[in-house]
Structure 1
Amino acid sequence: MAGTTKGTKKKDTGILAKFYLCTYNLIEAIGWSYVLYSVTNYYTLSSSKASLWDTVKYSLIIFQNAAVLEIIHAATGLVPSNPVITMIQVFSRVMVVCGTLLAVPVNYTASCFGFTLILYAWSITEIIRYLYYFTNIIGFVPHILVWLRYTTFIALYPIGVTGELLCFYSAQKYASTHPDAWSYNMPNAWNFTFSYHYILIAVMLLYIPLFPQMYLHMFVQRRKILGSSSTVLSKKTL
């Protein structure tokens, strides 16, 4: 009886985890689809006088910041992702949203070309990624989705990073002319200083060593997934 109870409990936990991950990935896929629709509609059909930032800000804040949960998923073993890589990927985007777009006036970051770049690059990437994860969980992954997941990053990753850096650059321009913005200057009772301007510059410099590693990591993953798929297909053909 004890063994049966333990086995049932483990199975129930697995089902709950599956249900949670299915729900999370599906909601994120729908959310990013809405972001992509909003941006495309803004540039093609919308006659609204609202800015692009006003059009997408709430959906962008919600669905991008929800990605913080993925760090927890990886750290707790709920998904087999590398926690460090996941943290770097999520942190860079959350920093763009919270550290630049929300931190400085919209006429700096949210009106720069980089903002449009990240919206398109992020939304397309995330729609494909979350749908890929969702179909993996339910056990049916169309080959075209696998190919898109491990091919579109070749163009979208550099486009997204370019957009992120442009947003950081615009934010640091604001910070350089507003030294008190989000900063804590000395002298003070804590004998501590914090410079928003220098933090932005430091984050931008981190892209130099980190981006090539992350980009090459995706190529390694591409070879593993599409390479093995090609081998299987070749064997079936023979």
Structure 2
Amino acid sequence: MAYIEEHHEPPPRPKKQGPPTLVKFYLLAYNILSALGWFYILLITVTHLFNLDGAHNAASVSPSPFAQLLARIPLARPARTAVGKLEEYLPAAFTPVLRRAATTYARVGWQTTIVQSFAVLEVLHVLLGWVRSPLGTTLAQVASRLYLVWGITYLFDNTRTHPLYASMVLSWAITEVVRYSFYAFALLGREPRFLLLLRYTLFYVLYPTGAGSEAGLIYASLPSPGPAASLLSHLPVRFQALFEKPWYQALHDDVRGVLFCIWWPGLYVMYTHMMKQRRRVLGKGRTLGAKPKSI
């Protein structure tokens, strides 16, 4: 419990200089606008997934007789999508939500890409000394997010119709609404207890769902051997060269494979780091209402 000394207080230490007033107003505006942007994405995503606006009440169109005929032919049968595979294991009540999750990109994809792209300014804030966040951590977090929106979902069609895109965006949006709101209040010299608790508690769920969805989308973008690859392997070498990928596409395939493998230990490192941060911030000995050390 906090207490106040009544007398014989030592002279106060000089306070550390915060950012200049103009910079402080800029950072406050940046954090407020970022929180609003992610709140908009969160609101639209939840509305879309649970059909709160009634946009998906129209009756579904049944396959044509010709499509049904093709489905009976093994070689002409289309490959099952991720949604089709998941529907086999989930109760029927979850099917509408799962199908809408596969169309989340069409609803908030570009909005998410634009709002997330503005996070590159956070690296600039660190370089200019306006915030006291570690440069390496900030750069890694921003770069990984930008890679997901520009290097994965923008380039690969199947990731834009994958239900994991919805869970990734939900995890990002909830995390960022809390984080940017916390930073905005910190710049005002306040620290709402509920935001502090949310910031250092929600990660228990949102880190696995967010990073797991990111890894799942990276995996979905990897080339999978299919019938075409099997047929090409029987062609003469000089003909196989006609169907080979450009070197930069093959290199990107390798990069994504490596990233998928290191994503999981990276999640473990960040997860345990946040657990330590939670014990430090919310553990015993911390005075309620004390200002955060960094923003």
Aligned partner of 2:24: which letter? K
Distance in 2 (CA, whole Å) between partners of 1:99 and 1:207 is 15
Secondary structure at 1:63 match in 2: helix
Give the alignment's TM-score, normalised by structure 2.
0.65
Distance in 2 (CA, whole Å) between partners of 1:127 and 1:156 is 13
Report the identity percentage: 30
The answer as to 2:134 corresponding to 1:82 is yes
1:189 is matched with none
Give the alignment's TM-score, normalised by structure 1.
0.80
Q: How many residues align?
A: 212
| Residues 3-26 of structure 1: per-residue CA shift (max 9 Å, x gap) | xxxxxxxx9970111011101100
The answer as to 2:287 corresponding to 1:232 is yes
1:188 is matched with none
Structure with the bigger RCO (C-alpha within 8 Å, sep 6+) is 2
Once the two structures are TM-superposed, the CA of residue 210 in structure 1 deviates from its matched residue by 2.1
Distance in 1 (CA, whole Å) between partners of 2:214 and 2:27 is 28
Runs of 4+ with deviation above 4 angstroms: 174-178
Once the two structures are TM-superposed, the CA of residue 148 in structure 1 deviates from its matched residue by 0.5
Secondary structure at 1:77 match in 2: coil
> Quick one: which of 240, 253, 258 aligns to 1:197?
253
Higher mean alpha-carbon deviation, 194-203 vs 53-62, is at 194-203
Segments of structure 2 that go 5 or more residues without pairing to the other structure are: 1-16, 57-99, 230-241, 289-295
Cα contact 1:114–1:165 (8 A) shared by 2:
no
Cα contact 1:104–1:174 (8 A) shared by 2:
no
2:150 is matched with 98
Higher mean alpha-carbon deviation, 198-207 vs 168-177, is at 168-177
Distance in 2 (CA, whole Å) between partners of 1:119 and 1:53 is 9
1:109 is matched with 159
2:25 is matched with 19
Distance in 1 (CA, whole Å) between partners of 2:24 and 2:225 is 44
Q: Residues 118-137 of structure 1: matches in 2 within 5 Å?
A: 118-137=168-187
| Structure 2 CA distance for partners of 1:144 and 1:193, relative to 1, 3 Å | closer
Secondary structure at 1:195 match in 2: helix
> Quick one: which of 32, 36, 52 aligns to 2:38?
32
> Quick one: which of 165, 174, 180 aligns to 2:215?
165
The answer as to 2:191 corresponding to 1:141 is yes
Q: Which has the larger radius of gyration?
A: 2
Distance in 2 (CA, whole Å) between partners of 1:175 and 1:162 is 23
Segments of structure 1 that go 5 or more residues without pairing to the other structure are: 1-10, 186-191, 234-238
CA RMSD of the aligned region, Å? 2.7
1:41 is matched with 47
